[in-house]
Amino acid sequence: MNIAFVLFPDFEELDFAGPWEVFGMATKYIDTTWRPYTVAAEREVRGFLGLCVRVDYTFAEAPKPDLVVVPGGVGTRAGMQDEALIGYLRSAAAGAQHVASVCTGALLLRAAGVLEGKRATTQWGARKELAGLGGVEIVDARWVQDGNIVTAAGVSAGIDMALYMVGQLKTPEDAKKVQRFMEYDPQPPYADVPALF
């Protein structure tokens, strides 16, 4: 299974790296036929916090994906006006079996027409923005699946979403193995943080 991680300037690093870790770990230990790779307009792309990624493929070179994963970040706003990015997302999503977004990556999916008539979520601070684009039923949830599309709320929710998808694409037991390999057992030091939404 080809898993395309679509990057763009000022993407949110953990939106990308969290699901990458999950699918990458699944590739190493669960199904070696899975093939995660990065795609962007240019060979190098810099995230919002400064991480520079040399991508595997440009949009023109990328193999056909079976799963498309779109991170969020402040760059999504400019990305919504980027014809090359939106065109790639529209084309890749149309041919893929599964599509996923993390955080404000949902804004890019909406701009590409992928979320039209769907239920979706995004980061709490961007839900009104996504609703304002129309055609999407906004859900207050950690992740939401509507058909072959799964959207996740902000940043760390992408890890949960990716584990959920491993459980759906393989088995829940396989997802639990990946979770164990990653030693993913969230215990934030400030568990009493008030809800912000």
- Residue 46 forms beta bridges with which residues? 52
**Is 52 a residue of the active site?**
no
Q: Using CA atoms, how far apart are residues 159 and 18, in angstroms rounded to an integer?
A: 5
Could you give the residue ranges of the DSSP H alpha helices within 70-171? 75-79, 83-95, 105-111, 127-132, 157-169
Spot the catalytic one: 17, 96, 103, 159: 103
Q: Are 103 and 40 in contact (CB under 8 A)?
A: no
Sheet holding 143-146, edge to edge: 57-58, 35-40, 2-6, 67-70, 98-102, 149-152, 143-146
User: What is the token pair recorded at 180?
Assistant: 């164990």
Q: Which two tokens stand for residue 97?
A: 């079996």
Residues recognised as catalytic: 103
